[in-house]
Structure 1
Amino acid sequence: MSKKSKHIKLEDHPKLSENIFHVPDGYFNSLHDKLMDAVETEESMLNQSEQLKRHPFEVPGNYFEELTEQIMAKTVNAEAKVIPLTRQNWFRWTAVAASLILAVSFYFLLPSSVINSEESLSAISDETIIEYLNAQQHGNDELFNDVDSIDLILDELIADELDVYADILSSNSELNYDFEYFDY
């Protein structure tokens, strides 16, 4: 197998195409009869069991007729229960204190003077800006070249691993399985 190949070819490895699974002779001929015997045996055991013939669960008389009335009595006539979100007064005071601390910290931490972007860019020369933009574009081109070289390295690694895998399969007969092979 060549280093650049991405797929295992079955023609090169005949052991990969061998079927290692075997079914005893006449297995499918007697399978139907064996299954039917097992079903009949289980059904006869169910019919003989007295415990399964009894109905252990019973519904009280008029249960379903009275159920609607009971549900309506519990829901419609019941008084709505109000559950307050905060039961303690300390929660309110903590929220007020946190809000005040946040407002004061924003006041002192924000810069007092607003920087105008046009004024800050006017101090930089046009040549410096053009050089910066060219350097950024050149860096992006190098990045794309590196991606192509990474793809080549990964292809070589995959081919090497497949070679090792094929060698292991050919030297160890207990690892031989019949895999379907698809060439994409």
Structure 2
Amino acid sequence: MRYITLWLAGIAAIVFIAQTVVGTSFFVLDSSLVWHQPWRLVTAIFAHGSIGHLLSNLVALVIFGLVLEQRIGPKRFFWLFMISGIAINMVSPFFYERSLGASGAIYAILGTLAVLRPMIMVWAAGVPMPMAIAGLFWLAQDVAGVFIPDNVANIAHISGLGMGLAAGIAWRKKFGDKKPGQEKNPLAEKELDEWEKEYMH
């Protein structure tokens, strides 16, 4: 299935509509309930606290998700998003009573892109900068947020970024940007093989 990014964004939009019908409490990651109601590890990824929360995450998911999905393929992208989201939601109850949102999984996307496509230009804090620098900026922002408590799940963001960096390192050889001179030329290699067969044997 192509464009998994758009399917995931669509699911988040549908869940937000469902929240208005059955209430957010059914979907939220509640530290007192999650181990008895494990579906919350998944539903909390797609649930959001407000329309603004939803839209900001959907914009980031679509913009960065489509870039990464094109690079690593839809299956890998899907499992990166889901595994990182669930893993982060297994950690969050130790730090937050209640949490929800796709931002942890989105930070995993950002971390992966920071390794695989470090030089693509993105906007961070209204300033254009390379993806690798933006990743460091977002990391510093969330580390500061841990010591200056606010309404943001900074530890979830940091965890997601870390998982993304690990995934990016694991995939860098296969999917990372090539340095000048590293690109393979399949046509030239094929011609060389044919030449060897004809003239060297």
Give the TM interval when normalised to the shorter protein. under 0.3
Compare CA radii of gyration and give the structure with the larger one.
1
Q: TM-score, normalised by structure 1?
A: 0.23
Structure number with higher helix proportion: 2
Q: Which has the higher contact order (CA 8 A, sep 6+)?
A: 1
Q: TM-score, normalised by structure 2?
A: 0.21
Structure number with higher strand proportion: 2
